[in-house]
Amino acid sequence: MLPSIIETNAEAIYASKPSGMFVHPTDELRRSGETLLTWLRDRVGHYVYPVHRIDRASSGVVCMGKTSQSAALLQEAIGSKKASKQYIVLARGETADVFTCDVPLSRKKKEDPVPACTHFRKLLSHSGFSLLEASIETGRRHQIRRHLARMGHQVAGDSTYGKGKINEWLRNDFGLPRLFLHAYHLDHPEIKTLPRQSLIDPLPSDLLVFLRLFTGNPDLWPNGWIPDTEGTT
């Protein structure tokens, strides 16, 4: 799948990143090929400035500043308590309807853990799995995946923290192509010249096709997302 531009304004570009693509190059990943940053740069014809990132295996909405000044404003906006980022994630096991994990996480091995907090809301459950909306207060490395794994609810398709045999079953029997984790919603306040934004990036076709096959409901989420999930089963 290819990236796409969701929205753009004078200060920023909001794009949908596909699974398997890095947000920006790093020293460790110089051989990774095209990144979202380089893809956007080539489309708009000038350099863009990364503001935040999501995992390579994840998909979803990411924003970039058009200048270093606008990137700084975006970082301030997204880092504020008024901002929100929500993800859709399929986790192993039957979870509570609403729950929170605030286990501290270390950034790297041999580093002291730092505060981390993720809130979860169950959208539906099926065959021993729970589809969740995850809202993060902090942005630690693999935060959602690590928090769910700590609670025994490994993310479907997670080759790092998940269960290999279960992932193999989901892939072979239902066609799960990758990690089921998608950043579907980004909302940040107005700050100075930066306008408020509230963006939805619907569940991509690869995950939606799998989910419909897995639940046996070919009509599930016809638009890729139902903002009001009340009544789902």
What DSSP line would sit under 96-165, residue for residue? Answer: -SEEEE---B-SSTTSPPB---EEEEEEEEETTEEEEEEEESS--TTHHHHHHHHTT-PBTT-TTTS-HH
Contacts of 167 by beta carbon, 8 Å cutoff, 6+ apart? 156, 157, 158, 159, 176
The Cα 171–Cα 89 span in angstroms is: 16
- Rg over CA atoms, the chain: 18
Do residues 210 and 175 make contact, with C-beta atoms less than 8 angstroms apart?
Answer: yes
Of 70, 26, 72, 76, residue with least CA distance to 44: 70
Q: What would the two tokens of residue 89 be?
A: 């994630």
Q: Where residue 230 falls among pLDDT bands split at 50, 70, 90?
A: very low
Q: Is residue 109 over pLDDT 80?
A: no
Q: Kindly tell me if the per-residue pLDDT of 2 is higher than 80.
A: yes
Q: What is the pLDDT of residue 198?
A: 92
What pLDDT, on a 0 to 100 scale, did the predictor assign at position 28?
Answer: 57
Residues contacting 90, CB < 8 A, separation 6+: 129, 130, 131, 132, 155, 156, 157, 180, 211
| Among 35, 29, 32, residue whose Cα is nearest residue 50 | 35
Do residues 49 and 68 lie in contact, with contact meaning Cβ atoms separated by under 8 Å?
yes
* For the chain, percent of residues with pLDDT exceeding 70: 93
Position 41 pLDDT exceeds 60: yes
On whether the CB atoms of residues 48 and 107 are closer than 8 A, the answer is no
Q: What are phi and psi of 204, to 5 degrees?
A: -70, 160
| DSSP state for residue 51 in the 8-state scheme | -
Q: pLDDT for 188-223, tens place per residue?
A: 988 888 889 999 999 999 999 999 999 999 888 877
Give the pLDDT score at 229. Answer: 39
Q: How confident is the model at residue 152 (pLDDT cuts 50, 70, 90)?
A: very high
Please give the average per-residue pLDDT across 70-76, as a whole number: 89
Q: How far apart are CA 144 and CA 149, in angstroms?
A: 8
Vertex 223: Cα angle to 44 and 206 (nearest 5): 70
3-state DSSP assignment of residue 59: strand
pLDDT at 90: 97
Mean pLDDT along residues 48-77? 92
Percentage of the chain beyond pLDDT 90 is 71
pTM for the predicted model, two decimal places:
0.91
Question: Phi and psi of 81, rounded to 5°?
Answer: -70, -15
Domain 4-215 classified CATH 3.60.20.10?
A: no
Q: How far apart are CA 185 and CA 165, in angstroms?
A: 31
Res. 29: pLDDT tops 50: yes
Q: So what's the pLDDT on residue 21? A: 92
The whole-number pLDDT of residue 233 equals: 35
